[in-house]
Amino acid sequence: MKAGVIGLGMGMAHLKGYLENGIEVAGICDTDRVLLENIQKKFGIPFATFDYRDLVGVQDIDIISVASPDYYHREQCVDGLMAGKNVLCEKPLALNLEDCIEIIKAVRKSGKKFMIGQVCRFAPGFVLTKQIIDSGEIGELFFVESEYAHDYRVAEGVGKWRKDPRRKPFIGGGCHAVDLLRWIVGDPIEVFAYSNHKCLVDWPVDDATIAIYRFENGVMGKVFCSIGCIRPYTMRSVFYGTKGTIISDNTSDHILLCSTRYFKEKSSYNFAKIPVEIAHHNVAAEIKYFIRRIENNEAVEMNETEGAKTVATCLAAVISSQENRKVDIREELFNQFVGL
């Protein structure tokens, strides 16, 4: 198999991820001429172009990574799929439902494999958290929370593409926290959210949002997203179960676990530190997973529908905060994916 990569910011992690997995990168695309030439030279890549349509036209490329700014995901994914390529798309799948729907339709029409790069599903701390929860160690979940706290003053993106009114931070960045909760808990059914605009006053969007979700299984959830907070980046998450609690994130070398089992052993409610590797952008593992699914013709769990449902769950919170009302996620949003 050979790969092609579109967008060489986060796309560099894809390029290296393919190489680490023994996959040749046969082509790259970026609109920045200097960057493109430098990367082509440095990695000895046979084909380089400014126009993604040339890249998806290269015959012997089997997989395309779409790692361009969010606005381009739809056209690049759709054209890649229709050119017969398997596609790995960076999160978020898109910034609105129309684009999600077009990508879903293209996957179905092309019959190619598609994966959304919700990379937190490969962060060692979160993988271990899910394993412990699935094992029953902390009992039945009743409250979960996650946050995406980042200072975008230092991450505007090349050409300041993140500073665009179409990119709601709760979709663009908050999708990490929302997807994490969906992965661990399941689908939420309704949301109420508030947002404000006190940190990045020169940005065209609200920079902080808090969303309260109710899940299908009665679990309550909270997601906080800030793109203007003054602190190191974090995705601190807490999982409360009837028999224990886990605190984890994707930037620490451990997770914290407190459970009734530990209480019996130690007679106190201390948190146990469980070591984990730090790998918050574990794209190599994501690529390994995708290659296996392609090679064995197996279903991809993190598929186009999962990506679209995460976007819809985020969008529901944006609608709620803008219209000051509770949003029924299934009725107003998920229903639009039925029958595609």
CB of 200 to ligand NAD, least distance (A): 17
The one-character DSSP state at 298 is -
Q: How far is the CB of 168 from ligand NAD (least distance, A)?
A: 12
Closest to ligand NAD by CB, 70 or 207? 70
3-state secondary structure of 185: helix
Question: Considering the complex, what minimum distance in angstroms separates the CB of residue 55 from ligand NAD?
Answer: 9
Considering the complex, what minimum distance in angstroms separates the CB of residue 8 from ligand NAD?
5
By C-alpha distance, which of 112, 135, 131, 108 is closest to 121? 131
DSSP, collapsed to helix, strand or coil, labels residue 61 as coil
Residue in 321, 315, 307, 320 with CA at minimum distance from that of residue 333: 315
- In the bound state with ligand NAD, the residue whose beta carbon lies nearer, of 72 and 183, is 72
Contacts to ligand NAD by CB under 6 A: 6-10, 29-32, 35, 52, 67-70, 72, 90-91, 117, 119, 157-158, 161, 172, 281
Of 59, 111, 53, 120, which Cα lies nearest the Cα of 91?
Answer: 120
Nearer to ligand NAD, 32 or 328 (CB): 32
How many CB atoms sit inside 10 A of residue 35's CB?
15
List, in order, residues 6 or more apart from 227 with CB less than 8 Å away: 150, 151, 152, 169, 173, 199, 200, 203, 207, 208
275/18 Cα distance (integer angstroms) = 27
| Cβ-based neighbours of 243, under 8 Å, separated by 6 or more | 136, 137, 138, 139, 140, 259, 260, 261
Which residue's CB comes closest to ligand NAD? 9
Q: How far is the CB of 97 from ligand NAD (least distance, A)?
A: 17
Smallest gap from residue 139 Cβ to ligand NAD (A): 31
| Choice between 69 and 244, CB closer to ligand NAD | 69
